[in-house]
Amino acid sequence: MTTSEPIESLAYRPLPGLYDEMVDASGQPRAHWSFLASAFADLGTRELHRRQAEAARLLDQDGVVYNVYGEGSAAARRRWRLDPVPTVMSSREWESIESGVIERAELLNLILDDIYGKRTLLERRLLPPEIVYAHAGFLRACDGIRLGGRGGGLQLFNYAADIARDGDGRCVVVADRTQAPSGSGYALENRTVIQRVLPSLYRDSQVHRLAPFFRTLRLALKEVAPPFAEDPRIVVLTPGPLNETAFEHAVLASSLGYPLVEGRDLTVRGGRVWMRSVGRLEPVDVILRRVDGIYCDPLELKRDSQLGVPGLVEAARGGAVSIVNTLGSSVLENPALMAFLPRLAEYLLGAPLRLENARTWWCGEDESRRYVLERLPELVIRPISRQAPGASILGSELSEDELESLRRRIESRPRDWVGSEALSLSGAPTLTADGLEPRRSVLRAFAVARSGSYVVMPGGLTRVSPQALAGRISSQVGAIAKDTWVLSSEPEPLTGFWLQPGPAVDAVNPMSSIPSRTAENLWWLGRYAERAEALTRLLRAVQDRRNEFENSASAPGVETLRALLETLTHITSTYPGFTDPALLADPGQELLALIVDGGRAGTLAQAIRALLACAYAVRDQLSGDTWLIVGPLERAISELDGDSIELHTRAQSALQEVMRSLLVLGGLGIESMVRDIGWRFMDAGRRIERGVQLLTLLGSTVTRVRGTATDSLMLESVLTAAESIITYRFRYRSRAQLETVLELLLLDAGNPRSLAYQLDRLTEDLEVFPTEGRLSEEQRLVLAAYTDLRLADPAALVAVDASGQRPELQRFLGGLLAQLTATGDAVDRAHFVHVTPTFSLVGAAGATSEIGRAA
C-alpha cells in the first residue's frame, strides 16, 4: 500500500504555508501519522461522524462543561467540544518538548524564587523592575513566603506551557501558565472519551497513559506539605460551580481523592487553616489552589473578595499551610517576561532555552518600542497584565484607524505593552461536516514539581480553532479540544500503580471529612429532587383529570379537577394561581407556567434548576453516572420555549422525561452511593421533603367533604399523586375510604411513600449526624412527630363537623407539618455553615480626616 492513497481518499488538503501535523510538504503522511491516517481513510468520513456523535454523547453523559463568562446566567454552560481525531506526537519529538518544558519550568522557578526573595535579578537589571512592580500578579504581601516541605524547595509547583509551531514546524511557547494552570482535568476527560470512541486505534498505537501523571501530582502534593504534617490533609480550593473550569476542579478533587472546598469552607484559627466539616473543624495542610491568588485573602489581598479566607496569607507566611501554586505565582504570566527569558536562561541556567518562546519585545525599552511600533500589523500585541481572556490583539486584524489608536495607546504608556511575533501555528486534521480539514492548533503541556525536578504529563490539551481562518484559540471563544497522543517507542510498562506495597494506610474517616457546605448541598439536592418528583406526579394526576373532565358535563369530575388545581397552587405556593376563578376556568397557561417558568418560585423548572445547581456544586461527591440524567433533565426544561400550542404537547413529554430522570437519580442514590455522612444528609433531605409534600397534599385535598362521587375521584387522584394507588387497590380492592387511605399513606411503615416510613428513615439518618448531647434537637422533633403519628386513630381523625370540614385531621396534619418544618430548620442551624456576612473593617477614614492643620 502506498501512503498517498489514504490521503486521497480522505481528500485532506493542508492549509497553504502552514506546517501540517499529519502530512509533509509533499502531502504524504508523516511517519508517526501513517497508521492513523490510513486507519481514518479506512473508517471513512461517515464512520468518523458516527464516532464524533458518540464522543459528544459520552461527554454529555459525563456532564463535561466549560462555563462561559458574560452570558448572564448559570445557564451559560457550554458542552465541551471534542474532536474525535487526536493530535499525534512521535516519541522523539515529545522527548524534546518534554525536556524543553522541564527546562522552562526550572528557569521560571528560579525567577519566581528570586522575585519573592532576594530580587537580585531586579537589582542587576537582568529583569527591569518595572515589569515586576507594575504587574498585578506581584503580591507584595506574599514577599518572602516560601514553599517548604520535602519537595526539594521548588517554588513553582504547577506549570503549563502553550506550545504552537512556526511555519517551519518548530515548537515555540506562546504563553507560560503559572497562576493555577487549567486543562489537565479536561485532558484526562478527553482521553477517557477518545479511548472509548477509538478503542482499537488507541490500543494499537501504543499511546502513553495519562493516569501516572495524576498519581505523581498526588505524591507531589504530599511532598510540599509543611514538615510537621505526617499524613497531610489536602484540599482543592475552587471559586465555586460557576467558575469557567468548575468541571475540572471537581474532576481533579474526585480523581485525587481530596475534598473540593470553597473559601467559605475554610477558616483560619490560631494561624492555621481549618476546614469547616460537618460537626467540627479539621486541619488543612496543603491547598491546591484554583482561585486566583489575589482573591485568596480579603484581609491582605483583594479586600472585597468573597472567594477567599481571611488570614490565609498569614497562615502561609507562618508555614502552617502550603498553598500551590504559591500566592503571587501569576507574576510569571507577564508576557513582558518572555522578552527577557533568553537572557535570563543564559544567566541562570548557563545555556539558551531549548524550547524557546515567541520572540517578544517589551515596549518599556526604547529600541523594542520602536521595533514594535514599526511592525504593528505583523505582531501580536498584549498588555502586560492579563485583564480579560483573549486580551491579545492581532495587528493583522486591525484597520488603519485602529492601528493608529493602538499606536497612541502604546506610546502613552509604553511600559504596559508587549509585542510578540505572530506564529502561523500548525494545521491539525480536524473533523468537519465535509470530512477532515486542517485547523490551527495549540498544545498545552503540563508539568508538576516533584523531588526537586519536574514531571511532564505525556500528552496534553490540544485546542483547535473552529474556523479555518481564525487565529485566536481559547475555550472562552469556542475552541475545539483534541486528545493528544504521545506515541511510545516501545510498549509502555505499567508503572505508578494505585495498588501500593507497604503498611496499610488509615482511611480518612469517611464519616467526618466532607465540608459542611457539601453536606448542605447534598441535603438540598435530596429536597429538590423530591420536590420536583412530587410536583411532577401531581401535575400528571391533574393532567389525567383534565383529559377526562375538562369541558365535561360531569359535575363531580369538574369539581375534582378544580379542587386538584387549587391543590397545585397551595402546594407550590404560587398564589393567586388557581384561587383566581379566571385561571381556574381556563387553566392551560397557568399549568404550563407551573412546568416551564424557571423564573418563578415554586415551579417545576425552578425546582430542577435548583437541583442541578446543587448537583454541580457537589459533583465530586456524586456517581459519574449521575451525569447521565443531568443533561436530559437540563434539556427537558430548557428546551421548553417557542410556540405555545406545540408547547403543551411537548410539556407533557417533558414531564415524562423529568420523571424518568428523577427516578434514575433516586436509584443511583440507593445503588451507587456509599452510606457516608454525605449520603445521610441527602437522604434526610429527601425524607423531610417527601413528608412535607405528602402532608401538604393531604391537607389541601381530603380535609373537607365534597360529595361522595367527588371525594372518591379525589382519593383516587391523591393516591396516584402519592404513588400508592396500586398498593391501595391491591390491598383494599373495594371503593376507596379515607380511613384506609390515611392508614396506607401515614401509618404503614412498610409503604415507602408513607409518612411513617419517612420518619423511620429520618431517624436512622439523624443518628449518624454529629451531635453533642444525647439527643439532638432534630432527633427530639422527629421522635415527637413519630409518637404523635403512632398515637393517631384514623377513625377519629376523619370526623366531619357541621360545615363539612374535618377539623381533627386538619389539626393533626398541620401539627406534623410544623414538626417536620422545624426539623428541617434544626438541621440547618446545627450542621450548615451560616455564612455570616463579612465586612472590611476600616479605621482610617475617620482617623486621618480628624487631623487639624498644625497651628
Partner 1 sequence: MSVTYKVTHRTEYAYEDDVTLSYGQLHLLPRELGRQRCVSSEVRVDPKPEVLRERHDYFGNRVSYFEIHEPHRALTVTATSVVEVGERAAGISLLGNRRWEEVRDAVAGGGLPDHVDATDFVLRSPLIPIADRYRAYAEESFTTGRPLVDAIASLIARIHADFEYKPGSTSVSTPLADVFRKRTGVCQDFAHLGIACLRAIGLPARYVSGYLETVPAPGKPKLTGVDGSHAWLSVLIPEAGWLDVDPTNDQFAGDRYVVTAYGRDYADVPPLNGVIYTEGKTEKLKVAVDVVAVGP
**Residue ranges in contact with partner 1 by CB under 8 A:** 119, 122-123, 125, 128-130, 133-134, 140-141, 143, 267-271, 298-300, 303, 310-311, 314, 317, 413, 415, 836-855
Q: How far apart are CA 420 and CA 412, in angstroms?
A: 19
Q: Which one-letter DSSP state was computed for residue 66? A: E
Q: How far apart are CA 231 and CA 223, in angstroms?
A: 10
Sheet strands side by side (includes 234-237): 260-261, 234-237, 286-289, 322-324
Q: Tell me how far, at minimum, the Cβ of 854 lies from partner 1, in Å.
A: 5
Q: How far apart are CA 344 and CA 586, in angstroms?
A: 77
Our CB check for partner 1 shows the closer of 92 and 413 to be: 413
Using DSSP, state whether 703 is helix, strand or coil. Answer: coil
Using DSSP, state whether 284 is helix, strand or coil. Answer: strand
Instruction: Please name the residues in contact with 709: beta carbons below 8 A apart, sequence gap of 6 or more.
Output: 556
Please choose, from the candidates 471, 489, 351, the residue with its C-alpha nearest in 3D space to the C-alpha of residue 421.
471
Our CB check for partner 1 shows the closer of 367 and 400 to be: 367
The strand pairing partners of 439, in sequence order, are: 428
Our CB check for partner 1 shows the closer of 336 and 425 to be: 336
Q: Do the bridges between strand 234-237 and strand 260-261 make them parallel or antiparallel, or are there none, so unpaired?
A: parallel
Q: Tell me how far, at minimum, the Cβ of 265 lies from partner 1, in Å.
A: 14
Our CB check for partner 1 shows the closer of 551 and 840 to be: 840
Our CB check for partner 1 shows the closer of 10 and 266 to be: 266
Please choose, from the candidates 675, 655, 666, 656, the residue with its C-alpha nearest in 3D space to the C-alpha of residue 592.
655
Our CB check for partner 1 shows the closer of 123 and 825 to be: 123
Q: Tell me how far, at minimum, the Cβ of 380 lies from partner 1, in Å.
A: 24
Our CB check for partner 1 shows the closer of 334 and 700 to be: 334
The strand pairing partners of 65, in sequence order, are: 79
| Dihedral pair phi/psi, residue 640, rounded to 5° | -85, 70
Our CB check for partner 1 shows the closer of 275 and 612 to be: 275
Look up residue 715 and give its three cell numbers: 382519593
Residue type at 14?
Answer: P
Sheet strands side by side (includes 266-269): 266-269, 272-277, 280-284
Look up residue 606 and give its three cell numbers: 425552578
| Dihedral pair phi/psi, residue 163, rounded to 5° | -115, 130
Q: Tell me how far, at minimum, the Cβ of 412 lies from partner 1, in Å.
A: 8
Q: Tell me how far, at minimum, the Cβ of 237 lies from partner 1, in Å.
A: 18
Q: Tell me how far, at minimum, the Cβ of 831 lies from partner 1, in Å.
A: 17
Q: Tell me how far, at minimum, the Cβ of 547 lies from partner 1, in Å.
A: 51
Our CB check for partner 1 shows the closer of 772 and 850 to be: 850
Our CB check for partner 1 shows the closer of 330 and 536 to be: 330
Q: How would you class 22 by CB atoms within 10 Å of its CB: exposed for 0-12, middle for 13-18, buried for 19 or more?
A: buried
Our CB check for partner 1 shows the closer of 173 and 315 to be: 315
Q: Tell me how far, at minimum, the Cβ of 341 lies from partner 1, in Å.
A: 19
Our CB check for partner 1 shows the closer of 121 and 813 to be: 121
Please choose, from the candidates 527, 636, 612, 574, the residue with its C-alpha nearest in 3D space to the C-alpha of residue 73.
612
Using DSSP, state whether 408 is helix, strand or coil. Answer: helix
Q: How far apart are CA 635 and CA 653, in angstroms?
A: 12
Q: Tell me how far, at minimum, the Cβ of 842 lies from partner 1, in Å.
A: 6
Our CB check for partner 1 shows the closer of 320 and 608 to be: 320
Q: Tell me how far, at minimum, the Cβ of 234 lies from partner 1, in Å.
A: 24
Q: Tell me how far, at minimum, the Cβ of 369 lies from partner 1, in Å.
A: 13
Q: How far is CA 163 from CA 14, 457, 476, in A?
A: 20, 14, 18
Using DSSP, state whether 151 is helix, strand or coil. Answer: coil
The strand pairing partners of 284, in sequence order, are: 273
Instruction: Please name the residues in contact with 817: beta carbons below 8 A apart, sequence gap of 6 or more.
Output: 692, 695, 696, 699
Q: Tell me how far, at minimum, the Cβ of 293 lies from partner 1, in Å.
A: 15
Contact 335, 382 (CB under 8 A): yes
Q: Tell me how far, at minimum, the Cβ of 502 lies from partner 1, in Å.
A: 38
Rounded (5°) CA angle 172-162-494: 105
Q: Tell me how far, at minimum, the Cβ of 693 lies from partner 1, in Å.
A: 32
Q: How far apart are CA 141 and CA 137, in angstroms?
A: 11
Our CB check for partner 1 shows the closer of 121 and 565 to be: 121
Q: Tell me how far, at minimum, the Cβ of 300 lies from partner 1, in Å.
A: 7
The strand pairing partners of 2, in sequence order, are: none
Q: Which one-letter DSSP state was computed for residue 23? A: B
Q: How far apart are CA 245 and CA 185, in angstroms?
A: 9
For 177, what's the count of Cα atoms within 13 Å in the CB-facing half-sphere?
Answer: 20
H or E segment at 173?
A: strand 171-177
Our CB check for partner 1 shows the closer of 650 and 831 to be: 831
Sign of the torsion formed by the C-alpha atoms of 29, 33, 34 and 40 = negative
Q: Tell me how far, at minimum, the Cβ of 246 lies from partner 1, in Å.
A: 25
Contact 431, 414 (CB under 8 A): no
Our CB check for partner 1 shows the closer of 367 and 506 to be: 367
Q: How far apart are CA 85 and CA 710, in angstroms?
A: 64
Our CB check for partner 1 shows the closer of 413 and 600 to be: 413
Contact 238, 246 (CB under 8 A): yes
Q: How would you class 747 by CB atoms within 10 Å of its CB: exposed for 0-12, middle for 13-18, buried for 19 or more?
A: middle
Q: Give the distance from CA 143 to its chain's centroid.
A: 32
Q: Tell me how far, at minimum, the Cβ of 200 lies from partner 1, in Å.
A: 57
Q: Tell me how far, at minimum, the Cβ of 156 lies from partner 1, in Å.
A: 20
Our CB check for partner 1 shows the closer of 317 and 545 to be: 317
Please choose, from the candidates 822, 689, 818, 691, the residue with its C-alpha nearest in 3D space to the C-alpha of residue 757.
691
